[in-house]
Amino acid sequence: MGVRTKIRFVDAGVLDEIVAEDNDGDITDETDVMDEVQEAADEAGRLLGLGKRRIEAVFAHNRLKNKKAAWKNDAVICRYFGDSDVTRRQMRLVRRRLQRAHRRTTEGRLRIRLRSQSKASKATTRGRNSGGVATPRIFQLYPRWFAATERERAGILAHELFHDWSRDHDVTGDPYSIDNVLALARDEPKKARRNPENFEQFILALA
């Protein structure tokens, strides 16, 4: 895409941790690390573009009733964002969040901090964004991220870009469980429309 993500190594020894996690053995130095992150950011941007276009197709209709019909007739949208109680405001919310996340990957707005796994909340944590208006484009990745597949890496980056609500993980149980993602869309669609994992799974389903 030609837009470089700003990447910074924060903790001493983090490069060695990343090299140890890399299953393919492709990473040997900081340049390799930055290339891997950039590739994932580019792919995240591509996936978010797919999601944005899918939602824009709903808004191609003039009348609200036709927009709602287009939403409810799209099986993938309904699977991850629900088909009940959808209002103009809720549809606009989903579109706006996809637009913002896409812009952050295509306009050089990403700033990623590479941290030691010891700084993560769990040994399995791959990324973290604390949320809030100032932080969606600035977040941390941990060495475990480099053990993920290319598809997973892009999904994780996209996921972190949606942490811009104080209650955006308002999920009972494991917020990363696909069963919980689908149940949220089915039973509590308004919550699904602000849950980062629902957005991540939505764009991955379009690839």
The whole-chain average pLDDT of the chain stands at: 90
Residue 112's SS3 state is strand
Gyration radius (Cα) of the chain, Å? 17
DSSP letter at 23 equals S
Mean pLDDT of 182-206: 94
122: CB partners within 8 A, 6+ apart = none
Rounded to an integer, what distance in angstroms lies between the CA atom of residue 103 and that of residue 45? Answer: 8
Q: What is the mean pLDDT of residues 84-102?
A: 94
d(CA 37, CA 153): 8
* pLDDT tens-digit map of 146-189: 999 999 999 999 999 998 765 555 666 676 788 999 999 999 99
Range list of H helices, the chain: 14-21, 30-59, 64-72, 75-81, 88-106, 150-160, 178-187, 189-192, 196-206
Q: Which residue has the tokens 């490069």?
A: 15
Split at pLDDT 50, 70, 90, the class of 25 is confident
Mean pLDDT (whole number) for 122-144: 83
Predicted local distance difference test score (pLDDT) of residue 1: 44
Token pair 């379009």 is found at 206
Asked if the model's pLDDT at residue 112 lies above 80, the reply is yes
pLDDT at 173: 65
Quick check: 130 pLDDT over 80? no
Q: Which domains does the chain have, with CATH numbers?
A: 6-206 (3.40.390.10)
Strand partners, 9: 114
